[in-house]
Amino acid sequence: MKRLAMNDAPHARLKTALMAKARLLGAAVLLPTVLAATSVAAQEATTDVAQDASAAAPVSASGGMDFGDDTQPFELGADQGIEWRSKEKTYTARGNAVAKQGNSSIGADTLVFYTGSDDSSFDRILATGSVKVTSGSSVGYGDKGDYNATEKLLLLTGSNLKITSDNDVVTARDRIEYWTGRNAITAIGNAVVVREDTRIHGDKATLYFANDAEGKSKLSQIEADGKVKVLNNGQTIYANHFAYNPDTDIALMTGDVRIVDGQNEYRGQRAEIDNKRKISRILGGGERVHTFIKPKKNAASTATP
């Protein structure tokens, strides 16, 4: 082990490795600034909302976590220096370490790059302490980040896990997973997705992304599972599963569905709400559907004698 100098061979290998295959963050990391108004809406058919992952989140053409535009320079900096360990085949940047390329970056107290057999690619990247992942207008926070190139997965763990963009916030208790091969972000453990007046709670929440006609990443679907609770404009929805398609403005809730709207309550095994067409349905799924509508009290009945 030795500290790198500008003319060291390991530094040359580092530069080659960084410039050749610097793949950390991809379209999946970019939490769109437009989450679409997540007014509770619903799907006419389960297959329309609960899309197959391969359709809702196509694999990135790069086949990995693109840290940014490969035509742009890659920069790795640290306040306390960078070292190369030939035996472990690692580069370690310490002290406010930041790796940047294009409009993407990953920063931490310490960054460790585990190189492949030819030193021209990374098998793993480990970020420790005050981790901050940035892509475009979105920023992810955690105490530890671990990127596995084989699984194309960046895992954020620690306290106060959060992803923010211009108008959206996603939080989780246990971990946040960036699945770049599927263009998806999954928040696990008391997951919450917030957009303006809408809050989606669940044991797990997944946001799927797809490229639009201009090649820009956009949100294609939100799903929540396990003890789901959706708060939207005074309406509260409980279910085991929730799926929302921002393009169609349709949402589907399944499993012990309960919708509380003011003093009225609706129960069933499946609820579908089409916000564009203003059509809502509650279905029993083979069981009886229950609706409780409380009558409004008129002035005469409530007047004090």
Q: What is the residue whose two structure tokens read 């095994």? A: 269
User: Length of the chain in residues, anyone?
Assistant: 305
Q: Which residues contact 88 (CB under 8 A, 6 or more apart)?
A: 114
Q: What is the largest CA-CA distance in the chain?
A: 95
> Could you give the CA distance from residue 4 to residue 304 in angstroms, rounded to a whole number?
86
Tens-digit pLDDT profile for the chain (305 aa)?
333 333 444 444 444 444 444 444 333 333 332 233 333 333 333 334 333 333 333 223 222 344 544 566 668 899 999 998 888 888 899 999 998 877 778 899 999 988 877 666 678 889 999 999 987 667 899 999 998 878 888 899 999 999 987 778 999 999 999 887 788 889 999 999 998 788 999 999 998 888 778 877 778 899 999 999 999 888 899 999 999 998 898 999 999 999 998 888 888 899 998 888 888 888 776 666 666 666 766 545 544 55
Which of these, 198, 205, 277, 284, lies nearest to 236 by C-alpha position? 198
Tokens for 29, please give them. 């990391």
The whole model's pTM is what? Answer: 0.73
> Could you give the CA distance from residue 22 to residue 31 in angstroms, rounded to a whole number?
21
Q: Residue 119: what pLDDT?
A: 63
Q: Which residues contact 240 (CB under 8 A, 6 or more apart)?
A: 225, 226, 227, 228, 254, 255, 256
Q: Residue 286: what pLDDT?
A: 64
Residue-range domain boundaries for the chain: 2-300
Please tell me whether residue 13 adopts helix, strand or coil conformation.
helix
Q: Residue 22: what pLDDT?
A: 41
Instruction: Determine whether 186 is exposed, middle or buried from the number of CB atoms within 10 Å of its CB (0-12, 13-18, 19+).
Output: buried
Q: Residue 183: what pLDDT?
A: 80
Q: Residue 287: what pLDDT?
A: 66
Sign, CA dihedral 203-172-248-262, equals: positive
Q: Residue 44: what pLDDT?
A: 37
Q: CA dist 84 to 110, 123, 233, 280, Å?
A: 14, 15, 55, 61
Which of these, 46, 47, 42, lies nearest to 251 by C-alpha position? 42
> Could you give the CA distance from residue 21 to residue 221 in angstroms, rounded to a whole number?
30
Tokens for 299, please give them. 């002035």
